[in-house]
Amino acid sequence: MIVSNQHKEWNKEEIIKGIQEYYNLHQKTPRTNDFSNKNNLPSYTYALKILNCTKIEEIFNQCDLIRTEVIPYNKIDKEWGLNQLRLFYKILGKLPTKDEFKSNNFKPSYDFYYDNFGTLENAYYLAGLIEKPLTLKERLELSIKQLKTLAVQLNKCPTVFDYDSYNTKGLCRRELERKLNLKYNDICKRYIPHFPVNVDSDVSQEDIINKIKEIHNILGRPPKYIELINFGCHYTQTIFLSKFGYRYNQLIRSLGWEPTGTDTLKRTEEVMLDDFYNFFKELKGIPTFIDIDNNKNIASSGTYIKYFGSIENVCKLLDINYDEFYRNVSVSKYCFDSLGNICRSYAERDITNYFIYKNIRFDKEPKYSEIIKNINNRKRFDWKIYIGDKIYYVEYFGMFTNQKNNKIVKRYVKKTRKKIKLLYKNNIIDKCILIFPSMTKNKTLDEIFKPYINNINIVA
């Protein structure tokens, strides 16, 4: 007689192994009705009993797994949801937006916070991530107050750019227009009537040219388009098109000057190669995409890829020994920090160089066992840094991306989540600085490490 899995005797190790095998096969944790003999698992109630658990999350904790299924809202504990929100903040390095919940497949979803807290902002506040949010009425009043204050400071009617740059906790310009059902210029006419409204469409060609010439005399060269703002000129490309029939750089050429900056309309490949080589000598190493895009005096990384195919091709054309700075060893790519030590990626190199430039003492690849007892010694952090009398363990999760169809990335994301769970479980998350690619896109390294250097703890 064959005994089904539902009635056979299961021990703790067999149940844990069965759940882990299910996860590896389906890339998700089993739901309660997935606990059946067809999945080589005992019944859900039997698993609870043998593992001495009261709910499914406790089962997954013993299996070192994080629950992946969508849980009905009425069964989710609100405090658990707030803890997840703190985790999302830690992963992104900033407050998650509505769209980021979906793009990063965060659970619970945005709808959970909307249904349980009214707004995402209220959830941020209850999670301790922001100060108490203002009511709509308070934000509207603050917006008008800020508009009046800014007008007095500038001694003129603030432009849209002025308002958006100055506005902090009030409504953004478009929200303000919607709430008052008025266009921005009409809002200015109502609340700051003694300051004439700026109308760019009324400016003449002569006024624009005279202003550009005035800035040219100050700088000693043609101003870049992005520099006009620094001199109080908020002309859009649309203004140049409507007044002159062409864009800003073409206007600069019509005045007999050559544009400065990243314009590639007349920037030849030879000039781009010269720019790259000069930047290479300045850095004493091959520039990364981030380096290139942060340098406003050369073309963008996308332009280099468009014209040359890759940075390696640029190096070949310039006779730069690409392998000397960026070596292939089996399947891993290596480069070197400013002290000549091997780094496995440009990101690792940039972070290590940051510690070097900031005179932050660091050790590379410290073991998890330094702060977690009875753990496999193969687990290591990327860095251990010393700031004052404090020690932090730094991890950079470079492959934590949204490439859901990539099996290697999925496996990496799974391991990352297990690591983070382990850090929370052992109450050492406050000693850790977790860096994700999404953070380096939105922040500089100074902004990421500043709270720790100033001994201000990020909310965990």
In this predicted model, what pLDDT tens digit does every residue of 76-120 receive, in sequence order?
578 888 888 888 888 777 888 877 787 777 777 787 887 777 778
Who has greater pLDDT, 161 or 395? 395
Phi–psi pair at 388, nearest 5 degrees: 60, -125
More confident residue, 313 or 293: 313
Query: pLDDT tier at 384 (50, 70, 90 boundaries)?
Result: very high
Of the ranges 38-42, 281-285, 289-293, which is most confident?
A: 38-42
**Greatest mean pLDDT among 2-11, 17-26, 287-296:** 17-26
Share of the chain above pLDDT 90, in %: 3
294, 103, 410, 422: CA torsion to nearest 10? 90
Range ranked top by mean pLDDT from 5-9, 236-240, 411-415: 411-415
Return the residue matching tokens 């997935």: 34
Question: Which pLDDT does position 394 carry in this prediction?
Answer: 93
Is the confidence at residue 38, as pLDDT, over 80? no
